[in-house]
Amino acid sequence: MDIKRHIIIKLESALKSLGIDAGQIILERPKDESHGDISTNAAMMYAKKENKNPREFAQSVIEKLFVPDEYVTKVTIAGPGFINFFISDNYYKVKLKEIISSSFLYGRLETNKGKTANIEWVSANPTGPLHAGHGRHISLGKAIANLLEWSGYKVTREYYYNNAGQQMESLAKSVYARYRQIFEPDYQFPSDGYAGEYIYEIANLLEKEHGDKLIDSDNTIFKQAGENWCFKSIRQTLHRLGITHEVFFNESSLYDSGKINETLDEFKKRSLSYEKDGAVWLKTSELIKDKKDAEDKVIVKATGEPTYRMPDMAYHIDKIKRGYNLIVDVFGSDHGDTYREVLAGVQGLGYDTSKIKVIIHQMVTFVQEGKPVKMSKRSDNVYYLDDLLDDVGVDVAQFFFVMRSANTHLEFDVELAREQSEKNPVFYLQYAHARICGILRNANEAFPDYKNSANVNYSLLNNAEEISLLKILSVFPDVVASACSAYEPHKIITYLNEVAENYHKFYHNHRVINADEKELSYARLKLCEASKTVLKNGFDIIGISAPERM
RNA sequence: GCGCCCAUAGCUCAAUCGGAUAGAGCGGCAGCCUUCUAAGCUGCAGGUUACAGGUUCGAUUCCUGUUGGGCGUGCCA
């Protein structure tokens, strides 16, 4: 039973009997209770086309709706011409049964069932551990991947791995220098080297294993040791956050398979590239249409080496060819320009880029006592993601990173995040869950036969707090749908806050377990179970745990 | 200079393809624990949605301009 569908069908047939072939009808959940449970602006939309007074037109629509019926108790016209539907409490009790029986599946959608999605994110180069600033990117991607899964996609999580180029040479030189300094403290550290403390650690490992035998070795072993250490570090941090990528796509494979040259040839063939100053340029100024004053970009340097755009384009072509229904890229705002170039190039070669969705998120500032701080525990003055996770905990970090809309700058209050108190917004939600778990534990003792009770009298749930809790629980699937289509997991958090608020109010006003009123207790316990389900499922999407005790 | 993004309560942020009286948390003030978790609940105060125009039944949302901030603007990735 889907009430929205029910109402849409009624509206469509009402409009039809007025001679209007309705296109899309938009239903909303009004903010104000007095405006009913569901409202539509359809009358205003079509009145305009028909050149009629919206309120009068709404009235003629209502006359054709044939309400009240089993689930719709009342329909009113309000404001400039909204049609407001009031839904019977009985409907929500049917919903409650559904929530209980769906359990961990409640909120999972079929919208994208049978479709595949690829999401690529993190993709940090193996030149050092992840730092705190990476956190937003990582947590956001994790939550979006979860959202896609909840909407029905079969999701492939992918990491674009780049262990080539200047950066790796620099890493090798850095490791070598630290290694050699063990024996020759005055040995010069390269000016463009990685100053991080972890380089010492890698060097020490090499010394432990090989002594001084590597002094005359070439870069290879240092590069390998550095890469291995860094990549292991990255994966360990990701593991702490519960992230596993199914695919690590190695950039170098694009060279090995000849795809870079292939792509380059295609550009030439289509006259989308030209040579100038010894380099090859892509005509991005012509290819990019939605940005003013776009300039041409170099894709092959005068040295003969492709710039990063080349493999990026070949990579996207590869992903397109793999046939996903959706390809998601997550980028920080510092990559805001380059993705346009890459997509424009790919599109220029005739590929359909409409399936590629690029999520751009703004940067993070870590704040303490109201001031932006460079948090560092080490000599290299870097606040690593592991340090942040140690400081505030994995759940809190994940929550804070996903809490806000991605396209606005995020202020991460480390002080607040560290606080294990009611001030911390994570605990408000988790506390509601733990509270429910406590009650359910008590119920097992108070009513040993509760678990086996088949017939629960839901009609006993009649208080204002019970009804509004039921109503909020019933819209969870809609919230998942809207969060997913907008790629905005923070919408889930906003919603869960409403759930927790309604639950706490219910809890505060009504006692659940009461030996004298067994029937009522059972009904309320079901309401608790449903609340727990919604909270738990929501936590799963945003990627935090659901504690049973706090 | 140019491009992209942003500007909402003292602070951090929401606001359903443009909807009805712009909402939460924190901070401030005032209350509620002999009953299932007080990490909770209740009440009060706090706004010209940066500014100026425009579009329309209706604008925080769309358009133009101005101001202020973030990020780009490498033959780095």
Assess whether the previous peptide bond of A68 is cis (omega < 30° from 0): yes
Protein CA at A274 to nucleotide C1' at B16, angstroms: 48
| Distance of A54 CA from B14 C1′ (whole Å) | 31
Question: pLDDT class for A201, splitting at 50, 70, 90?
Answer: very high
* Strand B bases contacted by the protein (CB, 7 Å): 2-7, 11-17, 19-21, 23-27, 35-42, 57-58, 69-77
Residues A43-97 pLDDT 10s? 998 887 777 888 999 999 999 988 889 999 999 999 899 999 999 999 999 999 9
Nearest nucleotide (CA of A333 to C1'):
B71
What is the CA A503 to chain-centroid distance, rounded?
25
Mean pLDDT over A465-473 rounds to 96
Q: How many helices (H) and strands (E) does chain A have?
A: 21, 15
The whole-number pLDDT of residue A221 equals 95
Write down the residue that tokens 């733990």 correspond to.
A434
A364: three-class secondary structure by DSSP: strand
The confidence band for A318, taking pLDDT boundaries of 50, 70 and 90, is very high
Show Cβ contacts of residue A30 under 8 Å, excluding neighbours closer than 6 positions: A36, A37, A38, A39, A82, A84
Residue A185 CA neighbour count, 13 Å, CB half: 0
**Dist CA A519 CA A450 (whole Å):** 10
State how far the Cα of A527 lies from the Cα of A99, in Å rounded to an integer: 10
Q: What structural domains and CATH numbers belong to chain A?
A: 3-87 (3.30.1360.70), 93-111+423-542 (1.10.730.10), 116-161+244-361 (3.40.50.620), 166-240 (no CATH)
Beta strands in A270-319 (DSSP E): 273-276, 279-282, 297-300
Quote the CA–CA distance of A379 and A21 in Å, as a whole number.
70
Sheet strand arrangement including A297-300: A273-276, A279-282, A297-300
In this predicted structure, the answer to whether residue A377 has a pLDDT above a threshold of 90 is: no
Q: Is the pLDDT of residue A536 over 60?
A: yes
pLDDT-derived band at A256 (thresholds 50, 70, 90) equals very high
pLDDT of A315 > 60? The answer is yes
pLDDT of residue A379: 61
The per-residue pLDDT for A290 is: 77
User: Please, which residues have CB within 8 angstroms of residue A338's CB and are 6 or more apart in sequence?
Assistant: A308, A309, A312
Please report the pLDDT score of residue A375 as a whole number.
Answer: 56
Q: Which nucleotide is nearest to A435 (CA to C1')?
A: B37
pLDDT tens, position by position, A102-154: 999 999 999 999 999 999 999 999 999 999 999 999 999 999 999 999 999 99
Q: Which residue is nearest to nucleotide B57 (CA to C1')?
A: A80
> How many Å apart are CA A243 and CA A141, to the nearest integer?
10
Cα separations in angstroms, A293 against A285, A305, A344: 7, 27, 14
Q: Please give the sequence-ordered ranges of beta strands (E in DSSP) within A94-144, or none if there are none.
A: 116-120
User: Mean pLDDT across the stretch A477-482?
Assistant: 96
Percent of chain A surpassing pLDDT 90: 82
Q: Please state whether beta strands A247-250 and A154-161 pair in parallel, antiparallel, or not at all (unpaired).
A: parallel
Q: Which helix (H) or strand (E) holds A368?
A: strand A364-368
What Å distances lie between residue A231 and A224, A228, A246, CA to CA? 10, 5, 15
* C1' of B17 to CA of A469 (Å): 28
C1' (B44) to CA (A440) span, angstroms: 36
Give the range among A94-108, A261-275, A379-393, A477-491 with minimum mean pLDDT: A379-393
pLDDT at A51: 78
If you measure CA to C1', which residue is closest to nucleotide B33? A508
In angstroms, the CA A465 to CA A472 distance is 11
3-state SS, A436-496, equals HHHHHHHHHHHCCCHHHCCCCCHHHCCCHHHHHHHHHHHCHHHHHHHHHHHCCCHHHHHHH
Measure, in angstroms, how far nucleotide B7 C1' is from residue A427 CA.
30
Distance in Å from B41's C1' to A133's CA comes to: 37
Rounded to the nearest integer, the mean pLDDT of chain A is 93
Question: Which amino acid residue lies closest to nucleotide B20, measuring CA to C1'?
Answer: A79
Encoding tokens for residue A233? 């570090």
Q: Which of A64, A514, A151 is nearest to A326 (CA)?
A: A151
Is the pLDDT at A368 greater than 90, yes or no?
no
What pLDDT sits at residue A294?
Answer: 83
DSSP A402-439: HSS-TTS-EEEEHHHHH--STTSHHHHHHHHHHHHHHH
Residue nearest to nucleotide B19 (CA to C1'): A41
Q: Could you tell me which residues are beta bridge partners of residue A280?
A: A275, A300
| CA A440 to each of CA A198, A365, A437, A508, A519: distance values in angstroms, whole numbers, following the listed order | 48, 41, 5, 16, 15
SS3 A355: coil
> Distance (Å) from CA A141 to C1' B55?
38
Residue with tokens 């551990």: A129
Q: pLDDT tens digit string along A216-255?
A: 999 999 999 999 999 999 999 999 999 999 999 999 999 9
Q: Are A544 and A426 in contact (CB under 8 A)?
A: yes
State whether residue A287 is helix, strand or coil: helix
Backbone angles phi, psi at A109, to 5 degrees: -105, 160
CA of A346 to C1' of B61 (A): 33
pLDDT average, residue stretch A331-350: 92
Report the protein residue whose CA lies nearest the C1' of nucleotide B14: A494
CA angle at A257 for the pair A255 and A261, rounded to the nearest 5°: 55
Q: Which nucleotide's C1' is closest to A407 (Cα)?
A: B5
Kindly provide the b/e burial profile for residues A356-381, where b requires at least 16 CB atoms within 10 angstroms of the residue's own CB: bbbbebbebebbeeeeeeebeeeeee
Q: Which nucleotide is nearest to A404 (CA to C1')?
A: B13
Q: Which of A17-26, A143-152, A338-347, A505-514 has the lowest mean pLDDT?
A: A17-26
Say if residue A512's pLDDT is above 60: yes
CB A427 within 8 A of CB A550: yes
Question: Nearest protein residue to B70's C1' (by CA)?
Answer: A409
Closest CA to A43 of A63, A30, A56, A58: A58
Q: Which whole-number Å values give the CA distances from A37 to A68, A148, A164, in the listed order? A: 14, 28, 57
CA of A11 to C1' of B31 (A): 48
pLDDT at A191 over 90: no
A406-454, pLDDT tens digit by residue?
Answer: 999 999 999 999 988 888 999 999 999 999 999 999 999 999 888 888 7
- Nucleotide showing the shortest C1' distance to residue A297 CA: B75
Check: CB of residue A457 under 8 Å from CB of residue A519: yes
- Confirm if A247 and A161 have CB atoms less than 8 A apart: no
pLDDT of residue A156: 98
Whole-complex ipTM: 0.96
